[in-house]
């Protein structure tokens, strides 16, 4: 099972939509079941919003709302915080649990 990408990680988009390729951003949500992630600034979708009133009585302005849509987890690669490369990681297990190790610089990520 893929548990190599977690919320808060920085990832680089390696495939998928052309306009997103090469972009880096922070993972803001991981949807394990769907194998999808939401990455800040990536997979931007536009929703057309009509003027609505929320339960709190505030008006939400009509117009276009841009938000990040989920993208396939296989389209992103973890950016190693140690060497700043989009790197493959391997899992190393010891008494303390499972740790991620960057295959590029061999440093422990966490
Ligand atoms: Zn590294």
99 occurs within a structural domain = yes
Ligand 1 centre distance from Cα of residue 14 (Å): 17
- Decide which of 2 and 78 is more confident: 78
CA of 27 to the centre of ligand 1 (A): 18
Distance 5 CA to ligand 1 centre (A): 14
Question: For residue range 57-78, what is the model confidence (pLDDT) as tens digits?
Answer: 777 777 888 999 999 999 999 9
Q: Within a domain: residue 53? A: no
Question: Distance of alpha carbon 20 from its chain centroid, rounded?
Answer: 12
pLDDT of residue 59: 72
Residue 15 falls within a domain, yes or no? no
Yes or no: say if 64 and 41 are a contact pair by the CB < 8 Å rule: no
Residue 89: inside a domain: yes
* Tokens coding 85: 């490369």
Owning domain of residue 110: 80-110
* 14 belongs to a structural domain: no
CA–CA gap between residue 47 and residue 67 (Å, rounded): 8
Q: Is residue 84 part of a domain?
A: yes
pLDDT > 70 fraction of the chain, expressed in percent and rounded = 96
C-alpha 61 – ligand 1 centre gap (Å) = 44
Average pLDDT of the chain is 90
For the chain, what is the domain count? 1
Separation CA 3–CA 100 (nearest Å): 10
């Amino acid at each position: 099972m893929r548990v190599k990408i977690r919320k808060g990680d920085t990832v680089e988009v390696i495939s998928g939509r052309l306009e997103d390729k090469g972009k880096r951003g922070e993972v803001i949500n991981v949807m394990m079941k769907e194998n999808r992630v939401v990455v800040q600034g990536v997979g931007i979708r536009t929703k057309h919003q009509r003027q609505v009133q929320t339960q709190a009585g505030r008006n939400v302005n009509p117009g276009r709302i841009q938000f990040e849509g989920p993208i396939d987890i296989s389209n992103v690669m973890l950016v190693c915080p140690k060497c700043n490369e989009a790197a493959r990681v391997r899992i190393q297990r010891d008494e303390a649990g499972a740790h991620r190790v960057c295959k590029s610089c061999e440093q422990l990520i966490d």
